[in-house]
Amino acid sequence: MPLIAEPVLHARALLGEGSIWNFREHVLHWVDIDSFKIQTFNPSTSQNSSIDVGEHVGTVVRRAPECGGGFIVALVNSIAHVDDNGKLTKLSEVHEHSRNRSNDGKCDPVGRFWWGSFNFDLTPEACNLWMLDTDHSLHHKLDKIGVSNGLVWTSDGKTMYYIDSLLQRLDAFDYEIENGRISNRRSVVQNSWGGYFDGMTIDRDDNVYIALWEGGAVVKLNPRTGKLIERIEVPGCRNITSCAFGGPRMNDLYITSSGKDAQLETEPNAGALFKVSINNSEGCKAFEYKG
């Protein structure tokens, strides 16, 4: 029997994305890209709050308290700090294609911020992958990307997994944790489960969980063998966008979705935030930006 996620917040998000668990405050942060909002869901109260940043926001991470706290967000063509009261300060401008905006991203194990871009016209090879180092220096890491999406690191920090959604596969890179250099790109899993690979997370056993855009599910995969371990159905919604572990035992998988073009008759849960508990898995703590 497949696992089935249940909606915990009928958010009607236009484009939910970028979910991360705040291990300090025990809440889930996520973004609604097309409503320009950082969202925070508190599982203990089932309440959701938001901060409007005034433009498309592709992803969000926490900034370490010793570096100022608050959020780091990827905006249309810049990276900004947003404090917990909503005050926004630009940190770095990003020179992108005029029809691009920032998309999914995460911090690496030492606190560098990685994110990629999305092209509104889905122009082939128009997107990029970027890294903001802890000294605020900006580094262009990859070009000629279709749609830059999920990225995670293995528990030893030596491998980075990455998704370009238009390639319909999961890629791996050798990762040099000392300097953030990537090399030896190779395909490790081809999508054979429907839809498009979108955002993802990873557990302590280095298995990956990939959201399926147009697939109505999240798949748990072993990237070393390419085999499916488990399929998590997300009912009443086709466009699944990201996932993140949270909760007291880090085994609650939270899942975001898109409701922008959904028909309510066929997708009553489109744009909702979902959760499923996975008893045999434990997620990894989200890394914070250390700059």
CA angle, 152 as apex, 178 and 211 as ends, to 5°? 170
208 touches 221 (CB < 8 A): yes
**Are 145 and 128 spatial neighbours (Cβ–Cβ below 8 Å)?**
yes
The answer to the question of residue 284 being in a domain is no
Q: What are 34's two structure tokens?
A: 């097309």
Residue 283 lies in a domain: no
Give the model's pLDDT for residue 118: 97
> Residue 254 falls within a domain, yes or no?
yes
- How confident is the model over 55-61, as a mean pLDDT? 98
pLDDT at 2: 77
**How many Å apart are CA 258 and CA 241, to the nearest integer?**
7
What 3-state DSSP class applies to 240? strand
Q: How much is the average pLDDT of 77-88?
A: 96
For residue 264, pLDDT beyond 90: no
Phi/psi at 159 (5° precision): -135, 135
How many other CB atoms sit within 10 Å of the CB of residue 98?
7
pLDDT tens-digit readout, 213-240: 999 999 999 999 999 999 999 999 999 9
- Looking at the structure of the chain, the number of domains it has is 1
Residue 285 lies in a domain: no
User: How far apart are the C-alpha atoms of 188 and 40, rounded to whole Å?
Assistant: 33
The Cα 36–Cα 31 span in angstroms is 8
Query: Could you tell me the residue range of the domain that residue 218 belongs to?
Result: 3-277
* Band (175; pLDDT cuts 50, 70, 90): very high
Q: Is residue 282 in a domain? A: no
Tokens for 166? 């238009």
Mean pLDDT calculated for residue range 133-160: 98
Which of the residues 198, 203, 205, 206 is marked catalytic?
198
Amino acid sitting at position 96: E
Q: Measure the CA–CA gap between 64 and 28, rounded to whole angstroms.
A: 16
- Residues 60 and 72: their CA atoms lie apart, in Å, by 6
User: Is residue 291 included in any domain, yes or no?
Assistant: no
CATH number at residue 221: 2.120.10.30
Residue 198 annotated in active site: yes
pLDDT in tens, 11-37: 999 999 999 999 999 999 999 999 999
The answer as to whether 83 is a domain residue is: yes
Rounded average pLDDT over 71-88: 97
Answer yes or no: is 138 within a domain: yes
